[in-house]
Amino acid sequence: MPHTPLTADNSAVVLIDHEVGFSNLIGSHTIEENLNGTVALAKTAKLFNLPLVVTAAPEDFAAGPLYPELAQVLGDTPVIHRPPVFDAFESDQFAAAIDATGRKKLIMAGIQTDICLALTALTALDRGYEVYIVVDASAATTKETHDTAVMRLVQAGAIPVNWLAVGSEILRGWVDQPLAPAFGELIYQHLPSWRHNHVAGDSIAKYANK
């Protein structure tokens, strides 16, 4: 199958139901892992100026408001508060927002992987979108349910990725890329192992030259 890379001009990010009320339901990842991946993905969308479609239940529903850490990154990005439907495309406002992006590649993440993300992603595939599911910005009640949902979506044609792979595919490399320093800083914020490796390398080089 031919593959056209993700770019800042052909992709949009979709975030589904990252709400505080679901925090105690997450078992496939720790809440810290899910927060880290979700916030990093949102920052990646902002950095590369990707259209960002965010949907959740009304704030007075049991699931409550968005993760506050995510809301802070989103700023004035509108949130589509849809009625209690699992497939977000059943909300006309959501479907219109997706159409308004003008993008055919949808980079999607959500809670729960097996319900709202899966059903929305399956409809997106049926409507002719190319769907990328961000596995480290999505979560479910157990690792088994998360992994099974990912397998179901892959079998349906979705492409599994993580937030770092998304940003790296858009950036393309470190040379002659104006956004490379900013993306590097984003990586250091959300993947401390990369920052530590860089510091270790600098230290080795410093003492090796003595």
To which H or E segment does residue 197 belong?
helix 192-208
CA-closest candidate to residue 109, choices 46, 5, 38, 187: 38
- Rounded CA-CA distance 78/207 in Å is 50
CA-closest candidate to residue 56, choices 39, 74, 79: 79
> Is 116 designated active site?
yes
- Rounded CA-CA distance 113/118 in Å is 6
8 A C-beta contact, residue 70 and residue 42? yes
Of the residues 6, 26, 116, 161, only one is catalytic, namely 116
State the catalytic residues: 116
